[in-house]
């Protein structure tokens, strides 16, 4: 059995260059159109084998299925070959941090999880099952997912609030021998690094020469900081509502304290605006607004990645007055840094080699491959990442991730 896209409409058409962008409907029209599209849900389950007569039925179900069950009972590793397990992902949430909506609960989160499954299939050819859990206690969440895990080849955690998301992901990966990937953290980080690589290429700079300031010390901000450092970025500072994270602060959570120890080599101690003085890159994953004067105080030729939705931390019109490269999380502006560029190919690559986990090198490889989709003649200030509809994206990421998994020794085939 396989999860398939139900609606006969494909995703909005867009040319592979990403140049054509559909206009955003008015709020009332958007509500009505979205409700109409979602009626009955966006997914269904379809059989991959025929059941035309009694002979087919006897093979697909009893008595034939019993022979397959007995074979797997004798050799458990055969479950990957004779069921859908090795090719299907569980998309799991508790509804505590959904898009820009916050803690709206499991039921209200389900349309987003269905959408995530649709994107897995549309862009990576990966089957997945949306699962919204009615529990917010980390112990209960972990135990529930562990008990479900025999049915899946990977776990995609989604829209779980920080700092619980860090603990949940770590504990699940410690207990499971399949990939556990919190997309809000690592998908965002991979796409950000890919965009930064090409922004540096466009402006003739090196990652090692860049000083980056990240606004937001939640799931995405922490993951972005770590992947940028892993890629060799010169210095990274992370700021929360109270200012830059540094080891002298006494109000930090364990996660923030660890990231403070790993970042901020310049020893900054002030506000976000103070940290932006002379900075080469701003990465916003926090919401709120950054004053224009703070952007103007950045280094010449700066990059502004204002990724909050629906309102970027710095409006692109403002950012373009001071920055060489501007990116957002929105589809109606150039340079959309969208997780859909990363997670379908990452999981496709991990599943293709039956990886036991997704390593840091696999994420770095995904970012490099994603950046490399655009050739030297394609990269530009208003095009630092490819369109999600570019057919080269998922295969390039998949191949790079699979190869990195083999090198890291986490591939089982």
From 85, 116, 256, 363, the catalytic residue = 116
DSSP state, residue 25: P
- Residue 95 in contact with residue 107, Cβ under 8 Å? yes
- The sheet that has 127-132: what strands, in order across it? 127-132, 88-93, 154-157, 180-182
Q: Quick one: which H or E segment has residue 371?
A: helix 360-372
Annotation-wise, does 280 bind a ligand? Answer: no
Closest CA to 188 of 160, 227, 161, 215: 227
- 224 Ramachandran zone, left/alpha/beta (phi>0; psi -120 to 50): alpha
Host H or E run for residue 370? helix 360-372
Distance CA 44, CA 46 (A): 7
Distance in angstroms (rounded) separating the CA atoms of residues 326 and 338: 14
Could you give the dihedral angle defined by the CA atoms of residues 263, 269, 271 and 275, in that order, rounded to the nearest 10 degrees?
Answer: -60
Any catalytic annotation for residue 256?
A: no
Residue 159 marked ligand-binding = yes
Contact between 188 and 196 (Cβ < 8 Å): no
Bridge partners (DSSP) of residue 181 are 156
* DSSP H/E element including 243: strand 243-244
Omega of the bond leading into 303 within 30 degrees of 0 (cis): no
Contact 215, 239 (CB under 8 A): yes
DSSP state for residue 23 in the 8-state scheme: P
At 240, list the tokens. Answer: 């929360």
**Does residue 85 have an active-site annotation?**
no
Assign 3-class secondary structure to 120-171.
HHHHHCCEEEEEECCCCCHHHHHHHHHHHHHHCCEEEECCCCCCHHHHHHHH
Known binding residue 184? Answer is: yes
Reduce the DSSP state of residue 208 to 3 states and report it: helix
| Residue numbers belonging to the annotated binding site for a divalent metal cation | 158-159, 184
Binding residues: 158-159, 184, 309, 338
Q: Annotated binding residues for (S)-malate, as ranges?
A: 309, 338
- The catalytic residues are 61, 116
């Amino acid at each position: 059995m396989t999860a398939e896209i139900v609606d006969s409409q494909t995703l909005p058409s867009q040319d592979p260059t990403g140049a054509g962008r559909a206009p955003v409907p008015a709020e009332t029209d958007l509500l009505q159109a979205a409700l109409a599209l979602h009626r009955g849900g966006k997914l269904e389950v379809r059989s991959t084998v025929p059941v035309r007569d009694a002979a087919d039925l006897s093979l697909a179900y009893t008595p034939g299925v019993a022979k397959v069950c007995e074979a797997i009972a004798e050799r458990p590793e055969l479950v990957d070959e004779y069921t859908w397990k090795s090719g299907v992902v569980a998309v799991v949430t508790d509804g505590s941090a959904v898009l820009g909506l916050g803690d709206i609960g499991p039921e209200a989160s389900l349309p987003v999880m269905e959408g995530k499954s649709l994107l897995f299939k549309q862009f990576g050819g990966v089957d997945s099952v949306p699962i919204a859990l009615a529990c917010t206690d980390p112990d209960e969440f972990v135990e529930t997912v562990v008990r479900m895990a025999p049915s899946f080849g990977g776990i995609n955690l989604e829209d779980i609030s920080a700092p619980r998301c860090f603990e949940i992901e770590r504990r699940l990966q410690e207990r499971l021998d399949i990939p556990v990937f919190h997309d809000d953290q690592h998908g965002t980080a991979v796409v950000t690094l890919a965009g930064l690589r090409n922004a540096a290429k466009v402006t003739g700079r090196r990652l090692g020469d860049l000083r980056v300031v990240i606004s937001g010390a939640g799931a995405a901000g922490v993951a972005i900081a770590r992947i940028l450092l892993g890629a060799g970025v010169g210095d990274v500072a992370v700021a929360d509502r109270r200012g830059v994270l540094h080891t002298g602060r006494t109000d930090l959570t364990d996660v923030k304290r660890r990231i403070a120890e790993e970042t901020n080599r310049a020893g900054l101690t002030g506000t976000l605006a103070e940290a932006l003085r002379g900075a080469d890159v701003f990465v916003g994953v926090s919401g709120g607004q950054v004053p224009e004067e703070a952007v103007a105080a950045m280094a010449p030729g700066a990059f502004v990645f204002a990724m909050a939705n629906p309102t970027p931390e710095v409006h692109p019109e403002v950012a373009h007055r001071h920055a060489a490269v501007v990116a957002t999380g929105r589809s109606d502006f150039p340079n959309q840094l969208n997780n859909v560029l990363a997670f379908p190919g990452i999981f496709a690559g991990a599943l293709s080699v039956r990886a036991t986990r997704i390593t840091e090198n696999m994420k770095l490889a995904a970012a490099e491959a994603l950046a490399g989709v655009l050739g030297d003649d394609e990269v530009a200030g208003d095009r630092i990442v490819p369109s999600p509809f570019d057919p080269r994206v998922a295969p390039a990421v998949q191949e790079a991730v699979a190869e990195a998994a083999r090198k890291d020794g986490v591939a089982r085939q």
